[in-house]
Structure 1
């Protein structure tokens, strides 16, 4: 899948519309939620549960958690100061390249990579927070699956807000 600038612009627009509903939104809580969602996603794939023969929750459950992580990555990008953002066109290119590299570089996700992410996020946080869910999707699922899961989850999130969540 070629990830185009218009794809990223659409996702950012969807997220901006949702974020506009959240009066208490702030960048520190968004970053914390991003890491919590990463942990929740990681728990769905269960690579550390060596006592289990059948590891991992259903694919849809995994993608729903990864979609939550993407939502907070998009939100963090939208909240970032302009001098910390890469232009959307450049970002879509790096997401496409990262997804392409991840999908062709290995069959199994290299979890050693995750340890590096925490350090890197402090240096390049907003770019990495946006790229990482796509890299994971490209390696374990597909980027279109992640985008579909994200759009589905955003509908659920809007319904939750409508009902006073």
Structure 2
């Protein structure tokens, strides 16, 4: 995964949104963080990993991947907001935990970014989010391709007054 390219692409979309919605100079970190948390919640809902009371299966893999990359858009956005783009991409993760535990870890680390917006907390946040993607069965190639496709959709939405 070329994380530097993804940050650059995300920055272009973010800059466009800021300009077109006349948000220059506004501190939108809280909104961006909440957007990330909501997207992770939507992703969890599609996996149904926490719905111990239900027999209904998870959504199709393509739906789950799309929800995951929605979260990736906001994870990158959080890094850009904090000025943290120097992220390494691990190749191996400990995936022994339950899926629910992975979701909770991502959300915990997102909350930690809210409390202490420190660069040394951003890398573990991204590691946790990428580990979640791998736990869901996605490769970096799949994540990147789906991200690029969704980014096009996001630009089209802006073109159409979303």
Q: Do Structure 1 and Structure 2 share a fold, with TM-score over 0.5?
A: yes
* Unpaired runs of at least 5, structure 1: none
CA shift for structure 1 position 54: 4.4
Distance 1:40 1:158 in 2: 21
CA shift for structure 1 position 73: 0.5
Partner of 1:131: 127
CA shift for structure 1 position 109: 4.0
Partner of 2:16: 21
CA shift for structure 1 position 145: 1.2
- Pick from 94, 97, 104: which aligns with 1:115? 104
CA shift for structure 1 position 117: 3.7
Higher helix residue share: 1
- Name the CA shift for 1:113/1:59 in 2 (closer, same or farther; >3 Å): closer
Distance 2:55 2:105 in 1: 28
Equivalent residue pairs, number:
147
Q: 1:66–1:133: 8 Å Cα contact kept in structure 2?
A: no
- How do 1:26-65 and structure 2 match up within 5 A? 26-65=28-67
How does the TM-score come out when normalised to structure 2?
0.78
- Name the CA shift for 1:129/1:116 in 2 (closer, same or farther; >3 Å): closer
How does the TM-score come out when normalised to structure 1?
0.77
- The superposition leaves residues 43-84 of structure 1 with CA deviations (integer Å, 9 ceiling, x where unpaired) of 000113334444111111101111010000001101104xxx
- The superposition leaves residues 104-151 of structure 1 with CA deviations (integer Å, 9 ceiling, x where unpaired) of x43x74422433444433156533443333111212222211111111
* Unpaired runs of at least 5, structure 2: none
Runs of 4+ in structure 1 off by over 6 angstroms are none
- Pick from 2, 5, 19: which aligns with 1:10? 5
- Pick from 88, 101, 106: which aligns with 2:93? 101
